[in-house]
Structure 1
Amino acid sequence: MSSAPSVPGQPGQEDVMGEEYRVAKIPYNEDTIVGLVSDIYRIYVQLGYMNNRADATEELVWPPPEGHSINEALCEELDLSPKVISLMRRLPYPVSIGIAAYLPFKPLSTAFAYIDDRQIRDGRDPGRWIYDQPRTNFLLPHEIALASADDEGIHIILDTEENTIRAPDWEELELEDEDGNFIFRSLPSHHAPTFLAEYVNKLRSLEIIPGGQEGRGRFYDVHYGKVYPMIRKVLQEQYGWPYDFRETEWKAAARDTLQRLERLYPFY
């Protein structure tokens, strides 16, 4: 059976099959990134993961209207781009490096707190800063590490030019090609707003439940056995998450409730 004749002025089937659709990417929008990171921290506060200590110690600092007062001279010394500096000023942060370590930003990933001068330098080399002198030129000027990997977690590296996030693990970040170039930038990237929004949705749906005891963060999920569905059931049916959420009541009861559920349904 012969193929249908081509219409003049229109590409033939073979030409169409060989084409690739080019996606015109929406440019980076700082407001979008700030909004999504803020949404993550708001959920953490709502669920008592942060700012719910018995001694009322604040664990999270929100940016004032004019932005955080960060060390811009150090940022310029490190050749950070204006977009990166501006974003640093507008993000919420754990109040200290210690709090960031005890209350991860994501499972096994620790947020950088750029209100601390040391972290501005540390963040240029998210894979080494904990155990070695950071390389200040490891990231490009327009890249910013939102979080670094713990043992088996991921680094979260935002590219403000591409509007992408790369999420290599600790090993992938250090891999080099035969010419000695780091190859993590050749790894698949994620559309930055989508990457963050997907995590927000997992938190809102309680696919991941942030919790823990007195400054020691934990993220409950299906790997936590029977205790995970029970925590989810309590939050939804007893405390009305998310639409009729009794936030104050949950925060008052969260510590004792989680301890009791962990005793009843041990996951170790």
Structure 2
Amino acid sequence: MADVSTALSSRQKAKLDEVADLMLEIYRTLGEMRILDPAGIEEGPHNLTHLLPISREHGLAPEVVYLYSHLPYIGPAAGVTDFLWGSTFADYRDADDISQGRDPFYASPEPDAGFEAEDGEYMRAWYTPLVNMGNHQSVWIYDARKHRIWSIDQEGWMSTDPALEGNNYGPDNVRNRNRFDQIPSRPAGEFLRDIVGWLRTLELVPGGGEHDGGNWDADAWRALYRSHGWPDHFDGDAFEVARARWSCGVDAHHDAEEPLRAVEKFVMWSRHGQGDIEKAKTAVMDLKDDDARWVGKIEVWKAEKKAARIQRELGKARDEADHLCPDGICQKAEDLPLWEAESCRSAAESAVPDEDGKKKEAATLQLAYEASLADAQRLRPNTTFQAATRRDPPGQDRTARDIEWNEKFIAEFEIELDELKAWGERVPTTATKAREAVRSEVEKYEEGLKSARERLERSRKWLAAHPGDSE
């Protein structure tokens, strides 16, 4: 990259090096916080000579090319994808990231339209993102000539920089709707140092991106950090176990309330089902052709059968909710460690230690399981999960439940199929479309029954081969 370096003054390079150094400090801070494994931080400089053709193709300024070779990057060993404020890590050793960096907000500007067109370009040659956009959230854009950074929310089209709160909008006097010059920015070093500071004071809690599985809560994580001595006396190992246990607890709470969600689901489906019946009946009344009226009657029959199935499932769901969640309480406070232990045990079994990047996760989950189990035995001595909750452990006996479900499905569908065939015999031979509709529906029922019988046979074989085991 000698040709790039010689094109820049020492002052220019010092500013670019400052950005690279501060990004490295941010990454190292995330490593200290146990957000990522420090082994995955790959420091610069990097030899990116092979990427010079694509840099030239996109017309990147020398400042940006130089910065790409000096930035630190996050490799697979880090074990994490999400960064901050919904963003993900950028890696300009990847040609795809370089290309996407020319349209970080996925605005799809008009090709060669220029910067003054209504839907024109918006990334100057000396601009670059420092992060990739996650699910419609923040992107940091660095101006390598003015040495400033914007942190911009893609949907709100405003600054997400806390230091600029209350000053998010500038004059909206640009024709190009993709441009962000009117959004406030500030000096790059100031912004990046603040990120480090906010992480250390926990004003900024990392996480909450689209890849975190939903188990993230800023206040809960902040409390965990503080209770484990962050930042000056941080017990990272104990924190990781506590965080894993907290995550297991979140999953367990979700599992515990499944009976209530099932009732809500079938109540909603029941309302829609009744509406579908009324629509089908109204449609039949408006039909004049006899064949079409028979086709409409078939639609009414289908809607009524579907509604009847939903009502049966709703009744079962209500019975189960009454049994497992009396008075709407699905999880007693004193039983939480039992729930956590079972959830951590199941998660530890899923994190296969032999897979790359899973050894530490599996070990941490095992420790979280043991800690939860110890609390459970202290709070509820000689009490099993099944005895306390009247449920099978999460993830267990799935095959037995699958067998039961398929058996009921087959029995109900066989009855409906017989009814459908008998009903179809009443359709006049002159109603050719209606008779074809009946035949088509019979085929769907038969195909559904075939699939259910195959699933049932597989489950029975598996259970016979694993007596006393579970999935």
Using structure 1 for the length normalisation, give the TM-score. Answer: 0.67
Partner of 2:53: 73
SS at match of 2:132: strand
Give the 3 Å change call, closer, same or farther, for CA 141–121 of structure 1 in structure 2: same
Query: Which structure shows the bigger proportion of residues in strand conformation?
Result: 1
Q: Count residues with an aligned counterpart.
A: 217
Tell me how far 1:184 sits from its aligned partner. 0.7
1:33 aligns with 2:19: yes
Which residues of 2 match residues 1-268 of structure 1 at below 5 A?
29-51=15-37, 59-63=40-44, 66-69=45-48, 71-95=51-75, 103-128=81-106, 138-171=122-155, 172=157, 179-180=175-176, 182-210=178-206, 216=212, 224-225=218-219, 227-236=220-229, 241-246=230-235, 250=236, 252-262=237-247
SS at match of 2:138: coil
Partner of 1:3: none
Tell me how far 1:122 sits from its aligned partner. 1.0
Tell me how far 1:210 sits from its aligned partner. 3.4
Tell me how far 1:253 sits from its aligned partner. 3.8
Alpha-carbon distance in 2 for matches of 1:180, 1:243: 48
Alpha-carbon distance in 2 for matches of 1:257, 1:68: 40
Structure having the higher Rg = 2
Structure 2 residue identity aligned to 1:116: D
| Higher RCO by CA contacts (8 Å cutoff, separation 6 or greater) | 1
Task: Answer whether contact 2:228 2:238 (CA < 8 A) is retained.
Answer: no
Determine what percentage of the aligned residue pairs are the same residue. Answer: 23
SS at match of 2:142: strand
Alpha-carbon distance in 2 for matches of 1:39, 1:77: 31
Map Cα deviations across residues 140-178 of structure 1 (whole Å, 9 max, x no partner): 1111111233335211100011111112221328xx967
Tell me how far 1:242 sits from its aligned partner. 2.9
Task: Answer whether contact 1:68 1:90 (CA < 8 A) is retained.
Answer: no
Give the 3 Å change call, closer, same or farther, for CA 133–184 of structure 1 in structure 2: closer
Q: Where does the alignment leave 5 or more consecutive residues of structure 1 unmatched?
A: 1-25, 53-57
Query: Which structure shows the bigger proportion of residues in helix conformation?
Result: 2
Q: Where does the alignment leave 5 or more consecutive residues of structure 2 unmatched?
A: 1-10, 113-120, 159-171, 255-471
Task: Answer whether contact 2:228 2:239 (CA < 8 A) is retained.
Answer: no
SS at match of 2:130: strand
Give the 3 Å change call, closer, same or farther, for CA 217–85 of structure 1 in structure 2: farther
Q: Over aligned residues, Cα RMSD in angstroms?
A: 3.7
Alpha-carbon distance in 2 for matches of 1:242, 1:228: 13
Tell me how far 1:94 sits from its aligned partner. 2.1
